[in-house]
Structure 1
Amino acid sequence: MQDPPTPRLSQVLSQPATPLSASGTGIYVRSLWFKTNDGLTHYIPVSLMMYRVDLLKRIFTLPQAPDSTEGQTEDNAVNVHMLDGAQLAAIVDYFWDRRGALTGNMPALRLLLHMGEVWDCAEISRFAKDELPNCQDWSLALQFTLGARYHVETWVTEAFRYFLWKRRGELTEAERTELGVTNLLRLDKAYDEILDYRASIAFRPLPFESGAECTGSISCRVNWYEMWSNMGPRLLFHPRDSIVLASILPALQDPAGRESLGSCDGCFEATVQSCITGQVFEKEEMIIADYLRLY
């Protein structure tokens, strides 16, 4: 005999509570009537929801007067004014048919992400966060705004870095609308600060330190400054191939690049260590981190 099909939401909402049997023991699926803020009433099986969400368990197990019939009839439904019908439907689908009803369903998953935050339910939030990026209409702009709203640090960090380096003229109208004025202004300010700092080091000599055993440090210093005057602007301001500051040290320490510097090993090591100590190449990440803290 084939297993019966999984009931759809409309079927679940229309059926009364049903006693089930497991190993000969009667198990009662408790259901209650709810009234959402759009005026609709719904008959929902709440036992599983109570078991999985601590907040709901606390609400549904509050002491009631002996003669209370709240939730037992449609005329006396439990008033859930913080939810609308779509939110309640998404929650029921999560507990009863998540793979069938929610996979790729961005509107419902966004509702779940919101409810997971409101109810402080890590299980619901985690499911929504895992599923949303797989939706067809998912975008980095939406990832940015949802990540900021619901404190998903990895989403915000990835999207912020992407839009930070994307030329403003390349943004689509949809991206501009989704990001909003506040985020666009923060991105522009961060970008301007980074460009100002890049200019401050690209067009002036980097700090030089002589090696302890170097006998020709003047020559090493001249070679270092000449190297940076050629390399710095190209690395930091090339219209197509500029690199992030964090990548400069590996570029300098590359054997091929190091040979072209003209400084002895002692001066090279001392100068690189001076740049590390002075956080010369970390300032860019520090600027980005300052803006990410706003989220």
Structure 2
Amino acid sequence: MSVDNADGNGPESRRHPRFYFKDGNTIFMLKSADHPDGILYRLHSGLLAHRATFFASLFALPRHMGCAQEILSEGTTDDNPIELPYGLVMVDFDHLLTYLFTGPSMYPNTEAFLVSVMKLSAMFEIADGMHYTIREFTLRGDGVHPALQFELARCFGIDDWLEPAFRRLMKMSIIDLDSSHVAQIGHSGYYWLTRSKTQIQELRTKIAFHVPPIVNSVDCDTPGTCGVAWTREWEERVRQLIHHPSQPISCLDLLDQLRNTHIPGLCDACQDLTVTWLWGAQSFTREERLVDEAVEALKLLQAEEPLRAALRASVEALRKSVGLKTA
């Protein structure tokens, strides 16, 4: 497929330098604030219809001989292109066409490319585009910022990403999130994030301040010594772990460490009994329950997620704006 490049101030200067194919059979125009006169794309309707349910429906709209000539010839000339919605961003559309009309070796290795393809695949109903971007983001794993992963889960209904993204955000400091991250997380997400962090911080402060009582074994010969050792361990070491400025330990990790680390001056029997009792104490498992409660609340909000509702509205507006003139 070849591309017709042109210079000058006439209609040909508005042709896209990459996606105005000489052998294309349908001409689209995209207007934006940067290109108020519009950029022309000459594409292949067969490929678009094969890959995108939206375009298959668009090209299947009936055109009978009673239609006005303007409608019959729509999309066949530069002077009468099919107009794409004004809100469609040129860089997003170019990324989508790169995905549709070129091979993987030509794909930009950027998150912006994947987000564009995912967004317009949802809009134009391109199933393989959604599958491709979900797979690529999944392969990147923790290389994707959890705020972005959370936003994609919200917007595109990828509920499997919601919990891992939220748990990763819970491990971050709020000050490490800039305004763009907060926008990605959204109002509800940010509310549950800050609420859960505050509750957990209050819980950890109470646990650190109050030394839990030791549970002495009936076989212990030095219960007093064990009690002193347990109190010393809590005041000198556990409090530092809980309130570490950069890597505070979770309550469950703390219990694991207490179980698997020998405490000087404390007999094994007393240590095992005390840690086992702490495992059963609700305060030490409440931290995990708080996160679970937040995740469940966010999952319940997914069906009415504003971003997803906005996407549905934009798809409907797209159908009306493109199909109204064509029908």
Same fold judged by TM-score > 0.5? yes
2:27 paired residue number: 33
Out of 178, 181, 191, the position equivalent to 2:180 is 178
Matches within 5 A, 1:94-109: 94-109=99-114
User: Does residue 283 of structure 2 align to residue 283 of structure 1?
Assistant: no
Whole-angstrom distance in 1 between the partners of 2:228 and 2:41: 78
Whole-angstrom distance in 2 between the partners of 1:84 and 1:240: 40
Alpha-carbon shift at residue 261 of structure 1 (Å) = 6.6
Contact 1:144–1:155 under 8 Å retained in 2: yes
User: Does residue 46 of structure 2 align to residue 47 of structure 1?
Assistant: yes
The DSSP-based 3-state class of the residue aligned with 2:178 is: helix
Q: How many residues align?
A: 266
2:17 paired residue number: 10
Alpha-carbon shift at residue 185 of structure 1 (Å) = 6.3
User: Does residue 122 of structure 2 align to residue 117 of structure 1?
Assistant: yes
**Residue identity matched to 2:180:** E
Whole-angstrom distance in 2 between the partners of 1:105 and 1:222: 57
Whole-angstrom distance in 2 between the partners of 1:259 and 1:11: 69
Alpha-carbon shift at residue 93 of structure 1 (Å) = 1.2
Per-residue deviation, residues 125-145 of structure 1 (Å, max 9, x unmatched):
3434526997xxx86665555
User: Does residue 85 of structure 2 align to residue 78 of structure 1?
Assistant: no
- More deviation, 68-77/4-13: 4-13
Per-residue deviation, residues 198-218 of structure 1 (Å, max 9, x unmatched):
01111213366566xx34599
Alpha-carbon shift at residue 186 of structure 1 (Å) = 5.5
Per-residue deviation, residues 101-136 of structure 1 (Å, max 9, x unmatched):
4313554433222113334545323434526997xx
Contact 2:26–2:42 under 8 Å retained in 1: yes
> Measured at CA, do residues 7 and 42 of structure 1 come closer, stay the same or move farther in structure 2, by a change above 3 Å?
closer
Contact 1:163–1:187 under 8 Å retained in 2: yes
Whole-angstrom distance in 1 between the partners of 2:219 and 2:110: 70
> Measured at CA, do residues 287 and 197 of structure 1 come closer, stay the same or move farther in structure 2, by a change above 3 Å?
same
Whole-angstrom distance in 1 between the partners of 2:273 and 2:138: 49
2:173 paired residue number: 166
Contact 1:6–1:97 under 8 Å retained in 2: no
Contact 1:143–1:156 under 8 Å retained in 2: no
1:205 paired residue number: 211
Whole-angstrom distance in 1 between the partners of 2:195 and 2:238: 23
Alpha-carbon shift at residue 236 of structure 1 (Å) = 0.6
The DSSP-based 3-state class of the residue aligned with 2:240 is: helix
Contact 2:192–2:294 under 8 Å retained in 1: yes
Contact 1:208–1:274 under 8 Å retained in 2: no
Alpha-carbon shift at residue 48 of structure 1 (Å) = 2.6
Alpha-carbon shift at residue 237 of structure 1 (Å) = 1.4
Alignment gaps of 5+ in structure 2: 6-15, 33-37, 303-327
> Measured at CA, do residues 34 and 206 of structure 1 come closer, stay the same or move farther in structure 2, by a change above 3 Å?
same
User: Does residue 95 of structure 2 align to residue 90 of structure 1?
Assistant: yes
Question: TM-score with structure 1 length normalisation?
Answer: 0.66
Greater RCO (Cα-Cα under 8 Å, separation 6 or more): 2
Alignment gaps of 5+ in structure 1: 18-30
How big is the alpha-carbon RMSD for the aligned residues of Structure 1 and Structure 2?
4.3
Whole-angstrom distance in 2 between the partners of 1:217 and 1:178: 60
